[in-house]
Structure 1
Amino acid sequence: MQLAQIEYFVAVAEALSFTRGAEAAGVVQSAVSAAIRQLEREMGAELFVRLGRSVRLSPAGEALLPRALDVLDAVQAARDAVDGVRGTARGTVALGVLAHSGNLDVPGVLRSVHRQYPEIVVKLRQTIQGTRTSLDDVRSGALDLAMVSVSEAAAPDIDLTPLHADGILFVCAPGHRLAGRRRITLADVAGEPFVDFPEGWGNRATVDAAFAAAGLGRAVRTEVVTFGMALDLIRDGLGVGFVPESAFDGGALPLQKREAGELDGVWAVRTGLIWKIQLARSARRRSTAAEEAVLQAFLAQGR
């Protein structure tokens, strides 16, 4: 039994796909398939039930998985122990990042990691489908760490480390009926057409949860994937929206301590809603020294 066979088995078991498992392991699918077939011959049992293009663990595979994870954890712990003696860390970290990172300086984090640990390679992947997909990728092992915006209840099997909290503003065009209002309730705006992000994005989930808790519905008429586009459409009167303070140039500092005011061509009102950014990692396995180094670099920004 070779270590690579165990690594490939775990990758496929977590992704429940040979294709996605190969992507997570960073090798071609044919190599993964061959290695697992050889492992099955050595074990004398099929580890996966093949169902067309999908797979699931067989009883033998389910029995092997926790032991295989223990093996990989032990190997990584041994590597980290040796690196600790050398005063360094190494390895590759697949890091998912948001399209908008609030006031977090992601390039600064990467520079800090590189200065301290030049043998750590950080592979960035910007989400194009939002927090929900990033959480799935952390669970499957396709990502080691991911910046997300989610409630604890919506993230089973995930450890969340808070990184950033951002006030959410209600925004509308200067000529809108609500422009000039100093305070806005959710009931005031429930009947408006909204510009917002698609379902599965963290900022959308935060606002949806607030409306649901108030027993209110709303209609999202236009979906976008950048706050810049959202603000452009809102300025043009195509809807209203909720936007974090950090989406504006310089944050929402022009509002200072006022509850409302004009900001970048829109009327903005504080809502009391908070958009949170966390760093997600799997709760099912021990973090590597390289992952911990990236986490600490993020946390250092808030000190």
Structure 2
Amino acid sequence: MSGQAPDFWFRRRGPLATALRPLGAAYARATAKRLAQGPRERVAAKVICVGNLNAGGTGKTPTVIALLQKLEGRGLRVHVVSRGHGGTEKGPLRVDPMRHPAERVGDEPRLMAAFGPVWVADDRAAGARAAVAAGAQAVILDDGFQDPALAHDLSIVVADAAKGWGNGLCIPAGPLREPVAAGLSRADLVLTIGPPQTQQAFTARWPSLPVPRLTGRLETLRMGMDWKGLRALAFAGIGHPEKFFASLAAEGAEIVRAEALADHQPFSPRLLTRLETESKMLGAQLVTTEKDAARLPNAFRGKVLVLPVRLKIDDPAALDERLAALFPGKARR
């Protein structure tokens, strides 16, 4: 999804959401009809789907990276298959960050390719077959939960603990790609991401889920960087840029200007010139997210600092159990 999600999606159902509810119901029926197509294809590798019920950002990319590293820690050859949102490539194409710009393969695949092999493919089944042909023992399907092409051996639904599933309605009346009950009926695990207070709020709103729930949070990867006192012009084109601004402020940076861009917004020369000019006028350092940095032109990248984050799962026991069942004999290292 491009652009920022409407505020009314995450409030009590008001007149606008009520008026749009019939369109949301039609969207839900269309999703259900598409998902009923089948049978789904199976490939010669285990397929783990990381998806969501909401349109927009919920933390899928950090989850894919964490899962990739966890599986590699078991000695598995792991490949990621992504549609490459924001890119023009139809694929299947194995992403080379040195050769393939974000305009071609998308910012998320370019970022994930720093951690392991990533394929972009409009046809996710074709992408999975290409990954298997290249030696993959496990395929992580990035954002394929509502795609009926592939059979999943494990499906993880990721949710932002603060936003939850919003007003519980489908697009355009709410943030959902499909109703919560319908989506969770196909899920194996739910992962909610956020600090403890938002986890508690999620529990209060959705106290009972039909599948086990994991909780986790995004932690800053400091790598020796001291952000305290840094004057920053922060910019982000992600699903919820306010979370990035809050994380940067929590590290001690002084945010003198925060620019929220549309999700996956391209960095035009005009936009970059404006950001650089404003940062000089304010005496501030440009700072952005890893995902946004993946879209920056190489010539501009050195002018921007990046605040990297990694997913920390509070208690991964339920996930580890399922991975052990999928990959017997592949113990954690």
Tell me the TM-score normalized by structure 2: 0.33
Identify the structure with the greater helix proportion. 1
* TM-score normalised by structure 1 residue count: 0.35
Task: Identify the structure with the greater strand proportion.
Answer: 1
**Higher Cα radius of gyration:** 1
